[in-house]
Every structure is written in C-alpha cells, then in structure tokens.
Structure 1
Amino acid sequence: MKKINIVFFLVFTLACSQFALAQEPKKDIKADSTKKEKSKKKKDLPLEIARRIPVKTNEGSWMSLDVSPDGKTIAFDFLGDIFTMPITGGKPVQFTKGMSFDSHPKFSPDGTKLLFISDRTGGENIWWFNLDKKDSLQVTKGNNEHYQSAEWTPDGTYIVASRGIRNLKLWMFHKEGGSGAQLISKPDNLKTVEPAFGNDGRYVWFAHRIGAWNYNAQLPQYQISTYDRDNGEIERKTQRYGSAFAPTLSPDGKWLVYGTRHNDQTGLILRDIKSGDEKWLAYPVQRDEQESIAPLGVLPAMSFTPDSKEVVASYGGKFYRIPVAGGDAINIPFEMETEFLVGPRVDFKYPIKDDKDMIATQIRDAVVSPDGKQVALTVLNRLYLYDIQKASYKRITANNFTEAQPTWSPDGSQLAWVTWENNAGHVYKLNLKLKDAKPVRLTTVAGLYTEPVWSYQGNKIVFFRGATQTFKDADSPFFQGAQEDLVWISGDGGPLNFIAKAKGRSNPHFTKSEDRIYLYNGQKGLLSIRWDGTDEKAHLRVTGITVYGSVLMADNCMLNESEMEPAQEPSIADVIKIAPESDKALAQINNEIYVITIPKTGGDTPKVSVAEADKAQFPSRKLTKLGGEFASWSSNAKTVYFTLGNACALNELAGESLEVQCCK
C-alpha cells in the first residue's frame, strides 16, 4: 500500500503580533467563463448576483395569481418575481426583480397597490408597492418568521396574513405598518394558512390543520373555517375527506371555490354559499401540497373575476379562466421572457491527486503542552506532536489504527490518548522524557474509551467508558450510549475505578485548587462532583444567540414531525470548561468561542447570555470572528487555544482578540 505523508499547518498568533501563513505555490487556474456581475455593496440580501440565466417559456409551475379590481390585469409570481399581464394574455411585464423571493401578489381593493411577500430584507415580510412604483412600504419588520400569504381586507385598510415558523397563525396589520395583532393563538398545534375575504370584511376564510405536517399523511389534512372579526369565533365550513384548502370567494358573495383531493387527483370544488350545494369546477388540476409543509400554500392562489363569472387559476403550467356556469376552461396564453438571477457558483477546485504528500484540511483534539512549546493533535485519526519553536512535527507512534483525544500530564512529561483497534478501544500513554520510549497500554479490558484527562492532583487519568458493541452497532456518528461510566485509572496502569454513571455529562477536566472533577451537561451547564460521584454542584449555564429555522430529528436528517411550534430559544453551549486557575470559563456555542466570568451567587445556577458578549450579565468576551473548535486553556489560564480547519490559534486574554485564517 502506498505511504502517504500528511502535511498540516499550525499558525499561532499572539496579541498585537504579526504572523505568517504557510501557503502553497500559486497555480494557474482556468478562469470561470460564466458571466459575473461587478461587486456592489449590498444593502439587504448578502448574496450577490453572479449569473443571469435567460428564461423564455410559455409555461410555469406553481404560479399564485390575483385579478385586478377592474378585471383587466392579472398579477402572478414566477421564479420568485412578480409579473403583471393583461387578462387576455400576452407578454408579462416584470414588476419586481432581484435576488429576493417575491410571491403571492394581491391587488388592493382600489387597484392602486400590489401586496406581496418578500425576503428582500433577509427575512420574509409583507410589502406593498404602488403600481406606478412611486411609493412602497414594508408593512412588517423582522427576519425570523415565515409568511405564507397575505390578503387585504375589503376596505383596503388592513392586511390579514398567515405568520409563524411551522404552525402559522392568522395576524392582522394596518396597511401603514405596526406590530399588528394576532387573531388566532390557540391551540398551539393549530396551523392556519391561505387567508381570504369575500365581500363581507367581517369574516376571514382560511385553511387549517393540526400540526405543521406529517410523513405518510392520512386524509383529511386540511379543512376550511371562518374567523369572525367581531367576536373572535371560529366556524368550520367544510368536512371533506380529501381535505379542503385554498379558499377563494367571489366578489358578489355567492360562491366559494376551494381545492380538494379525490382518489389520487386534486381538483377545484364550486360551492353555492347560500344553499351549500357543491359541484366540481375543474378536475383534475395539479398535485396539492398536503404532504409537505406547504410554505407557498397547499395550492397556488387563484382569483375570481370582478363580475364573479369566472375563476382564474394556474395548473398544468398554464393560466385558465374557468366559467362558473360551466363549460371548458379558457387558456390565457403568455410568452415569458426574463432572467433568472443566481448567486456565485458553488464550485471549489479541490483536485484529487496521488502525490506522496497531501495537505490535511482539519486538525482535531489539539492540546498545548503545559510549557506552551508543543502541541499534541490528531490528523486523519493519527496522533502527531508539533514543536512550535522548530515548526516541525512527527508521528508519536507507528500504529495503524485510530488515535484520538490526547491529554498531557500536569508536568508535561507524558501524553495519554484513546484508540480504536481491531474492533476494540484502549487507553495508551507515552513518556516523552524517556529516549526511545514506546507507547504503553494502560487498560487491560477493551472498551469504548473517550475524553481522557490527567488530574492535577495524584497520578490519575479520568475518562468515560462505554461498551464496544455500542460503537459496532452505531448507524451514524451521532449514536447514543457511547459514554456509560465515568472512571479513572492510575497513570501507571492497573484496574479501572468507577466514579459515577455518565448521566449525559461529558468533558471531564480539573482546576489546580480543588480536587473535584468538573463536567458539562447540556441542560445543567458546568458541573463538578467528588471522586466518589457525589455532591454534584452546578456552577454556570451559558447561552448564545437565538437561531431560527426547522428542527431536524435527533437520529436522522429528516424534519421533526412534532405538532408543536419549534421553540425560539437561545442556543445552549456545546461545552463549558473552567480555567485551571482564576474565576473564568470558556464556552463554545455555535462554533464560536467565548470567555465568561463565573460568579458565585450562592443560589440558583448563574446564567450568562453571550448573545451580545459585551452586554453580558458578568464580564464576558467573544474570542472568535470566523469560528473555532476544540478550545482549551493554557496551564496558567492566561491563554485560550482553539483550532479552525487546519489552523491553530491562541488568544492571550490580556491582549486583543485576533482571528486566524485557515492556511491554504
């Protein structure tokens, strides 16, 4: 088998000092022939226009539309832009353009404005523009919620929208802006979408279901109800087995059109509101979105003509005028000619070669020696020692199996680590002061060993133990049960000594002043226990920024099927480590590194938010700008080390916070 030499870079920075980055020789790179836009300072969306793809077609997919009050024009969305076109067809005129995604246009009752949903400020919000584009307004503010659609009240004063993250609720806003009012708030698992009005502004028609969505959905999923703006009462209007969605009301108040599924096809139902009689208006049309989250609605929005004689809808890639009195649907022909704007090409040139040397792109588990002169780390599951002064590295062993998570003895003379070899794991150590010393296996019983750390007091190494079968049976890197017991072993080897069950705790470490074992638990925060596992104390909880979006299931990459709205809560720390000395702790949250002061409050566990580190409850500081991982303390607690890709950085707490760029 061909031997490969691994080349990696370590870059250390001191406060206010200069540093150099090792860099590969420049190579001739073939220029990208794709047309690129000149870089412009972006006011809102960060994604720059890099490519323009010409589009010329007479068909489109999932186009929501609306008919103007005078019946002469339709507005519709197409590939994230808004267009207008004569109701008789023709060449659409582009109303909005750019990198934002604009959808669900709605004419104001007086026909002077166009309402739509847009993410042009970085998050979805409600906007309206005058048709002459001389005036516009962002009705809602915020970048962390989803708007499915919005509709004018018949008097044109207010706007009702479906807003939320997963279980959207009906909200009402004034056309001139403001924070608005939530019309429906309970139950929490109720999802309300596709608000619509008839000629009576008292009632809001909408589609609803329990829960945001679910896999292998069983019908019915949606039904249609009305919300009474006078008394807040909700009245269900449908009981369809195939569901009922996309309510569309005629201007004369006589007709309701909605979508439903029959057998394996979706069609449109026409209901006489007074008598309740129903019949098929069009069947089939196009597939609905009942099995998905339906971010753009369960069906594309449709609209009556002002005389209430026709329904204009899109399906099968076309626009159609469907007579209410019966008869064939009338095609509205169009010839679309536009550009689809695209961001930079995600195309990184990483050639695969069979060269003897290769550049590693990530170093892991980097820990600096107590004297600050050497770094122990793993690259491609092999253990290396890097001499900072000589800028040289070497393999610590000649083993051909996984070596990970090195830890230094307090005096820096020895190094211990864990392995996985021949379907079993062990703990090893090496005395670096002895010439030609060989690695010594400390454990006599195979297991799944993780997170070793040397105690400051006594020649003891603490680590977690799990069953080898757990690792053998793991179906992903995120398996459960790897850490069952917290144990210790003498630095000279011998039997394992039980301390406590893991109980969701991780990252054992020590201080020089106390003979306690410090640990981390995601819910409880920074903890400490005695060597017999008793007297657990909680010292600090740290949270960061609030992130938004859907939540994935714990054991796969599929969306969580929970009926409840995802909680918008601050991110909790991935790890907290107390400093060997002083009252500080480092925390890693969302791959950013922070240093926090630990207060002794004597009551409940102190909580510190570093969402804005300079405004935290107690002195705190963010050390990273581009991110970092595998953070650790220096022996004297004056420096924090961390890595990013194949670069390693240190940050002296007394100086400026400097960021290290990954070497190339």
Structure 2
Amino acid sequence: MRKCNIKIASITIFICGLLSACSNEKPGENTSKAILDTVSLSNKNFALAYQDGGKIVATSIDTMKQISFGGASDPAISPDGNKLAYTVNDTAGHRTIWVADMENKSQLQLRVNNDNYYQAVWSPSGNIIAFNIFSEAKLWKIGVIKTDNTGFVVLDSKSPNNIYAPTWKNEIELIGHDLTNIYTFNISGKLIDTKPIISFIGKDFSIASSNRFFYSKDGKKLIFNAGNTDVLDGLTGPSEAVYSVDLANKKVERISPKGMHVAYIFVTADDRIFYSGAEKPFKESKIYVSDLKGNAKLVVDKGTNPTGTLK
C-alpha cells in the first residue's frame, strides 16, 4: 500500500459548540444546532468530512482548507461538497440529524417526528438522505427524506426485523442488513430483495450492526467491512478489515492491509473507498482512500468516520 503522508494544514475555522436544548421541547423539535462561523465558506472545494475526537471536520482533499466544529458526530458530506449532514445529541438525550449549507451557513433539522435518528447517508444525486431511525415499534429501521424536508418514509415499517447501516445501491434503491440478511428496498419503502449475508461473503466473517455494505458503481461488486480471525497483538476486541466480493464468482479480496483494524468505511458513487484504520498500538486511526484494487493513500493523519464527495 502506497502512503502519501499529508498532514492537516492550519487553515481551520473553528465553530462554536452546540446550544443547550430547551427542556420542554417535543420529540423531533430539537432546537440545538452548531453555530457556523461568520467567515465566508464559499469556493473552498470541500471534498472530505470526518470525525476528529469531539469535533467534525470538512476539508479539501489535500487538507489545505478546512472547517471544524464541536458537539456533533456522524459527518456526511454531500456528493457535490456543498452541504454537510451530521448528528446532534442534545442535553435531553435526543439524537437528530441536521444539514448545514457550507456556503451560506444556513442549517436545517430533518423533521421526522422522532427523537432518535442518526447517521445520514446522501443519495448519489444529493437530493435524498437515508438514515437509521428507532421506530415506534422499538425497532431500528431505515428512514429516507428529501433535503427540503418532504417525502419522509420509513422503509419496510411493518416487518419485525431491525435493519442497520443503510447505504445507497443507486438513486432509487437502498440496502441494509439485520446481521444475517441483506435487504434491498426501493425509496417508496417496499422490500424488493432479501439474501443471506453468507451467500455473498461466506462464513469466514462476523458482522456487527455498524458494518456497512456498498455496491460498486457497476453493481458487480459488494464492498464491506467485517470482523475476521486475524490476531492483532495489542488490539482489544475483534479485528476488522475492508473487503470486496465479486458477485459473479463470490471471490472475496482484501482491500485494507493486514495488521490494520478498520472499523468504518464509506464508498462514493464513483467507487472510491474511504476508511479509517488503526495500526499497532491501535490508539489512533488515520484516514485512507483506496480504489477497488486496494491501491490506497493516506489523506488524514488523525481521524475516523470519513465520507467523501464525488470527484
């Protein structure tokens, strides 16, 4: 694996923490939000967003220009790099998703009449956001909503299954899993396909609710991270790595290098694989970007949970 050791530059605009939520707010009416700096953020070519400890960062791919703010998590940059979705945890224990326009500094809460929804994922066009939501039936489901706060739907809302880790197969279909099966839905909420995970990747991997599956642009491969049997001295807990599987012949290939623990991946609609990986002594993760053949480079020296734009 070729490493291009680019350190984060110092052009950073720090943004204040979150306002305290009103104690009498109703579920889905969270008033906490990040306070965007008054400095103009236009023409900064944001291409990557990630978590850095207690703050999230949006940056250009060369890390020369960036903004950051605290009190939020689960950063998700839009495919065009103009907007950033993120999760806010308020003082009342609510977890909600907000969308910030990084040019005009406006912020919008996604309104879904719920107080526990998180981890936004943009559709390839950037017009729809999917996320995990804790339903009235006390089950984890996938929600989708347009960025103008219309068209909210909970996918497959009547089934008794928890569905985790939504990703977009294409503009009109999403996938998620329940640790055993991979489910495909259309954006109207209909379940259109169910397949056992082992039918894709075999029995050699362990799957957690945080592991995610992405289809390649041509639909011929599935990219995922999963637990494996590697024994990494000094790592507490199971090791995870990034893999791809050819759906025609079921051949699984490793993307991330041996000796690295990868707990998070994100795949763009143009097949770039961003992942945060830690090597011995496993105390700090770095962010890499790779192609489908495993040719990777280091882009951020310290960070987790990366998402990227289209080129």
**TM-score normalised by L of structure 1:** 0.32
Matched, 1:225 2:183: yes
The alpha-carbon deviation at position 202 of structure 1 amounts to: 2.5
CA distance in 2, matches of 1:269, 1:303: 12
Of 124, 130, 139, the residue aligned with 1:167 is 139
The alpha-carbon deviation at position 72 of structure 1 amounts to: 6.3
Q: How many residues align?
A: 239
SS in 1 for 2:126: coil
CA distance in 1, matches of 2:90, 2:156: 27
Cα deviation digits, residues 340-381 of structure 1 (max 9, x gap):
xxxxxxxxxxxxxxxxxxxxxxxxxxxxxxxxxxxxxxxxxx
Aligned pairs (5 A) from 1:155-194 = 155-164=125-134, 167-177=139-149, 180-188=152-160, 190-194=161-165
Residue segments in structure 1 that go unaligned for 5+ positions in a row:
1-41, 47-69, 210-221, 288-298, 337-664
Of 282, 286, 289, the residue aligned with 1:321 is 289
SS in 2 for 1:195: strand
Contact 2:206 2:228 in 1 (8 A): no
CA distance in 1, matches of 2:112, 2:139: 19
The alpha-carbon deviation at position 273 of structure 1 amounts to: 4.3
Amino acid at match of 1:286: H
Contact 2:112 2:152 in 1 (8 A): no
Matched, 1:332 2:309: no
The CA RMSD over aligned residues, in Å, is 3.2
Aligned pairs (5 A) from 1:585-624 = none
Aligned to 2:225: 259
CA distance in 1, matches of 2:248, 2:122: 24
Amino acid at match of 2:274: V
Cα deviation digits, residues 408-428 of structure 1 (max 9, x gap):
xxxxxxxxxxxxxxxxxxxxx
CA distance in 1, matches of 2:65, 2:128: 32
CA distance in 1, matches of 2:166, 2:298: 27
CA distance in 1, matches of 2:54, 2:244: 29
CA distance in 1, matches of 2:52, 2:106: 23
Cα 1:175–1:91 change in 2 (3 A) is: closer
Aligned pairs (5 A) from 1:152-551 = 152-164=122-134, 167-177=139-149, 180-188=152-160, 190-198=161-169, 200-209=170-179, 222-229=180-187, 231-236=190-195, 238-239=197-198, 240-241=202-203, 242-244=205-207, 245-263=211-229, 264-273=238-247, 275-282=249-256, 283-286=258-261, 299-304=263-268, 307-308=270-271, 310-316=272-278, 317-327=285-295, 329-334=296-301
Aligned pairs (5 A) from 1:40-59 = 44=21
Contact 2:46 2:58 in 1 (8 A): no
Q: Percent identity?
A: 19
Cα 1:237–1:74 change in 2 (3 A) is: farther
Cα 1:255–1:104 change in 2 (3 A) is: farther
SS in 2 for 1:191: coil
Amino acid at match of 2:261: Q
Contact 1:151 1:195 in 2 (8 A): yes
Aligned pairs (5 A) from 1:569-588 = none
Amino acid at match of 1:332: V
SS in 1 for 2:197: coil
**TM-score normalised by L of structure 2:** 0.65
CA distance in 1, matches of 2:111, 2:156: 18
Amino acid at match of 1:117: T
Amino acid at match of 1:257: I
The alpha-carbon deviation at position 235 of structure 1 amounts to: 1.8
Amino acid at match of 1:79: G
Matched, 1:77 2:51: yes
